[in-house]
Amino acid sequence: MARALVVVDFQNDFTPGGALGVAGGDDIAGRVDSLARSGDFDLVVATRDWHPADHSSFAAQGGRWPPHCVQGTPGAALHPALDRSLVDVVIDKGHDPATAGYSGFDGTTLAELLRERGVDHVTVVGLATDYCVMHTALDALREGFGVTVDSTATRPVEVQAGDGTRALEQVRAAGGSIA
């Protein structure tokens, strides 16, 4: 069977200076590229938040977040520190204005792609630990994939102190492993 690296939402708007910047979000670039180059993975997938301008998660529509990763904007682009040549497939998510779209599996073809490629285990990295990384990892487990979250290649939003640690514990409690 095959292994995949899933790079979650390593985008400009989630790194320092972005619309919803995660502290240290750009610091994961070296580790993500190192994993992608390692030869340990048969497939490297990057997910990308790809919101319409009227997405329900935005404060103007009653959501909790500022506008971020709006389709076609520089903020929605993959971070330039990510070596794009290492990414085999980009999966857009969060394009349905009515759903949060935290998970890389929510409304996408990610599960089908992984199965078509014979993947049985995914390593999840990216931004942010306590939202999109956690939801992607939990959905991967629900879809029947083995899951490892490489915590050295994630960073949390930390709306509440400890959210990142609690997110990793949820993944572990659901059957995933944390590296």
Q: Which of 9, 106, 130, 150 is catalytic?
A: 9
CA angle (66 as vertex; 133, 83 as ends), nearest 5: 45
Q: Which of 13, 26, 93, 139 is catalytic?
A: 93
| Residues β-bridged to residue 122 | 4, 147
Active site annotation includes 9: yes
| Residues β-bridged to residue 119 | 2
CB-count exposure of residue 36 (10 Å: 0-12, 13-18, 19+): buried
Q: Which of 49, 92, 106, 132 is catalytic?
A: 132
Active site annotation includes 120: no
Amino acid identity of residue 178, one-letter, is I
Active site annotation includes 132: yes
Q: How many CA atoms lie within 13 A of 96 on its CB side?
A: 11
- Residues annotated catalytic, as ranges: 9, 93, 132
